[in-house]
Structure 1
Amino acid sequence: MSDTGDNPAIGFLKRIAPAAGQGGGLEAMTAPGAALEMLAPSVPAPDALQPVVDRTLAKIAENRALDSHESFALEAIIIPDKRPVIDVLSGNQFRTDHALWQHFNGGPAHDRIAAAVPAVGRVELPGHPSLAYGGTGFVVGHNLLMTNRHIAELFASGLGTRNLAFLPDRRAGVDFEQRADGGSFVLAVSRVVMIHPYWDMALLEVEGLPASIEPLRLATQAPGDVPDVAVIGYPAFDPRNDIAVQNQVFRGIYNVKRIMPGKLTGREQTQSFGKLVFASTHDSSTLGGASASAVVNAGNGTVAALHFGGIYLRTNYGVPADLLARDGRVIDAGVRFEGTPRRESGPWDGWWDQSEAAQAAATTVTVPASYAGTQAQGAGNRIRLTLPLTVTIEMEPPVVAGGGGPAPAPPSAGGDNVVPIEAPVADYRDRRGYDAAFLGAPVALPEVRAAAADVLRFELDGKTETELRYEHFSVVMNRPRRLCFFSAVNIDGGLSRKSPRTGWRLDPRIPTAQQIIQECYGNPPRFSRGHMTRREDPVWGDETAAARGNADSMHVTNTVPQMQAFNSPIWLALEDYALEHAREDEMKISVFTGPYFRADDPVLYGVQVPVSFWKIIAFIHDVSGKLCATGYEMSQKASLPAPSTEYVFGEFRSRQLGIATQTSIRSIEARSGLSFGNLADFDPKSGITEAAGGGDGLLDQLEQIRFV
């Protein structure tokens, strides 16, 4: 049962219900009859659902709790009736039967929205390994398209206006059609003009725009009332939201141009790229894919905001157009405004200063004029050269104008400040990788069977390889997912050492495009780089070997996206238990770790993120002297962005700790598509063969683990 006092859907309905006289919406209703009349859908529900709709309305009017069927009726029928979704059809025609929005069908409001529709397009991602498109964009100047920064980062790198570039093997385009009744008109994105360091905004150059697509004009003043808005974009199916509700609201049609009516509701502080910003808010029905939709003021036809996300049944957020009108760099980029934009200082200034300083430091050096092979340019004995050089620098955080103190350091493209190290291929020729004979009894490297065609193959010294060998461990990569199938490590507790953490590294033996460097990583709500082979595990042997093992563990090939709240105490304790006992008993162990790859893994920040993970520990039992192996698995599902979010903001905290499970190795083989040879024969749970995990034991404490 759902109590109306804390039901977010009812709270949302209270805010969007039609006004009841002078007093306002649902809150002002004093008689159940008035509530029933005001909340009843203008379009009758399907016959099978009408009884539950009537029952839901009666309970809301009487302030009684709703059951699950009534909650569905509220979210999928009653609320969408107040905030419908309107198809855009051939010739940019649109019409709605909803009584609340009949004024969108004709008159000045219709004409203003109709004029804006052609300028809105879908940002295409040809060749992207997991996404057909990234979101929406709209024309704001001569050959100039505005979209979100988090969309641009799916195919581009950099921050600010200099040194912006397409990611390796990535392209982008804009389709200004893609309607429910068909149509396509695609233009290529030729250049990334700006990735804003403060706002979730980017500007792209699109050549060849026809005269029939007029640029939209951004508002220079904040609206003084609560105007109707038309959010124009391409809502996509979102696996984080309720499937049945989405299908009911969007009629099972996604990825096409829609108009989403609503109200502009004011300003609210929210997290965006590691900082708090004052965003515009609106209450239209949106989903993932609607990011970068144009929030068009139906009262004057200007763009009131650039939509960048929202929290389901709470509010939606947009970059305020009138604040962009105060940023001189946005004005200079050629963005068109209604009226004259007014350059002013703002909290974005410090972020611009720092990004530009970092860009200059990363791309220019000063050398004497007499330096061999150069010619001086300019006065004096100094010249300036642009080189293919990347420099990592640390700077003091910028001071926010008018804020009286430092702002948090702005994250770079992709959400963090990581500039990975890349050593020469020759540095890896002495790496032997995982040793199958390490324990005395042979334990072979796992074999990928079910998805053997997806194993990444690379050329090294004239031979085709699949195993990336590092110091004391090896990794095998999944080519389409750009993550490892598994990481396998040998640990010698008798030779274990401590070593400080080093920087992240790229592996030069495989293409950079096959390694996830930044896209989904960064401060919450983005992901951590979760080690598969723990950093401490290969840190053993003489000083040189331990240092190599420590540095090698920091390769991005050895990581998988994991929520910062994912590692539960029992999962961490399990890893500590294995390593510390190896150290204390000076024993040897081998550990295999990897993700379960599923077709329905969610796509977040442009990366298909594994939900569940497995681990196998093999060792010689200190009592029996025989080989022993145990398997475990854990899910980060409870820690992933909640189904109530379209684009997640702020620090995400897991609502509940995950629970690790001891499971059979045969079960891990069945679910992962890997073969561990005869290792399952040495598993105390070897009699359990169910792929679905039958007989698994939830682990709340280490004493529950079965080793024999």
Structure 2
Amino acid sequence: MSDSAVGAIEALDRVESLIAGSPKLRDALLKQAYAGTLPNQERLGMSADQIDASLSGKRARVIGDMAAAESPLVAERAMLGFEAIVRQVGRPTLLVQDGTVEFGDRMDGFPESLDRHLQRIRNVVNRVGRVELTNHRMEWAGTAWLVEERLAITNRHVAELFAGRRGRGFGFLVNPAIGVPYGSRIDFRQEYERREIARVVVKAIRYIAGPNEPDLALLELQGDGALPEPVPLASEEVKRGLLIGVVGFPAYDSRNDPKDIAHYFGDIFDKKRFAPGYITQDSSEGLRLMHDCTTLGGNSGSIVFDLETGKAVGLHFAGSYLEGNFAVSVANIKSALAGEVTVRRLRDESRENERADSEHKPEHFSGRTGYGETFLSESEDLTGDAAGYTVPMPELDAQALEDAVKVIHDGLDTIHIPYCHFSVVYSSSRRMPRLTAVNIDAARYCKIKRADDQWFRDLRLPRELQLSREDYAHPAIDRGHMVRREDPNWGELAEAVLANGDTFHYTNSAPQHAQLNQNRQAWLGLEEYILGSAKTHGLRATVFTGPVLRDDDPTLEDTEVQVPREFWKVVVMIDADRERLHATGYVLGQGELIRDITEGFVFGEFSTYQVRIADIAHATGLDFGRLVNADPLARRSRREEGAGGHLVSIPIDSPEQAYLG
């Protein structure tokens, strides 16, 4: 890559460090970039879109795009991942030839003799392959190794170059330039000065971890042809100081000093290598495994193994120059193979002091009218057809309708379970709400102080269909209100107190990953921001909320509770200027909903996104009727698509970033 391109990337490294943790500073910088007023932008040689993408976690793609104009080979190498040289001397990287390594005088002062480990090293290197791509501009993407029979493991960020989520499972992405799916194969050779190949086709994508989960993916290999035996996994976590080795395919990585690269690699890249080193940080207390073996881009997905036993102790995934390399622990690998998700968190001791659960009999709810579909039209100063402001409950598709719990309330059968100012549609199979609907009257809001929480079962529903305090005892999940406690608290004081208490029923609760529950400030402030905006008529809103329920949602260990990865919200009001319905949609999670309907989108940890209501409908099986056309983001998307752009979602760090049209 040219000096100017490298200089641009280094400059953005410094900028990224400066703006870390400050979304407002980042936004101000990007506004200048798009306006063409950013100092020295021309010298950077980067477009505003490239600067935006680079500061939004898409650095590898930006580097690849910049390098592509200079050399396709450089572009491929630049996109292979971020790995690192940790020690400038004493950590050799040895070429593999004919399935073995030669130590000799190439050890560069490594402090231990490896001769007695040679056979174990040979056993491992032959089970490691290069992840090659077809129908793709890149020749290869990283490293993989056999973890089970006909099952290879690599990094998520490697697999995402050619594969992604497809509906409820995973599959190959489509090359948009030629309209055909990408393909992949694992070559267990690719040795220096050797022409032999040992390629096995990747038959299917078994699993790709989410962005907030350990960086791994599982690839199912074709059934024909002989394969080496899988590498056994260590029976327990390793400790600092353990002698280890890494096997992978280092590619040139400009993040490291060129002198250090030349010292270790000369000009030989993209071929299989073995590198010895030590564990520098164990994975206790939920920390990532760290090691100091020499790696470069292309080592993503490399095996980290114990030289004494030949067993795998980790999956290499990233590094920082002269600081350290990181690996997924063997415990997380085993969890992925077992289909489990492990989220480490200290237990919230405040739960121990909560009041015991109780229950309410059907007569307790007598007279509750629930959600009102004409609520927005009940303002005296509205003109025009009041029916135009009616907002019915979303309709369920056939599968969701069959799954919905029907209750008898005041002598009538209904799936819309009524409470004070809100209603719930409840899933019998998942034992949580599928959707909630609440009317909010901010002009008549009553502040109700939150006392000691006590949660209740609603005995209009069978007890066995409702979760309990014991189901939420797992330290990795929180009990999340779907209708926020404050939302229905309006009207006369007694009415508001009743509504406040109604929100503490398990029918209004869904399990949330603790990390999600702790990163939802933008989500929580959306309703107040919209209600307080000049566009809202009468300080009234209707809000629909629910989880995105998927069959493959993770089941936390030691429980039978499936935890949704994402939650959605639709906020409806009357536009004060145009006196017409105005509706916006949001998702809180890891971007899985958008991943179902788009390709190549990069997502961070649990975040809030504004999305089209039509996309929420697609993912949930709910029909929002004319709210789809009352969505300003949908109108903006159509305009931008017509102009050659493509708007799918807006990441939201603060409520003010919501697009209200």
TM-score category of the 2 structures, normalised to the smaller one? 0.3 to 0.5
Please, what TM-score do these two structures have when normalized by structure 2? 0.47
TM score, norm. by length of structure 1: 0.44
Give 1 or 2: higher helix fraction.
2
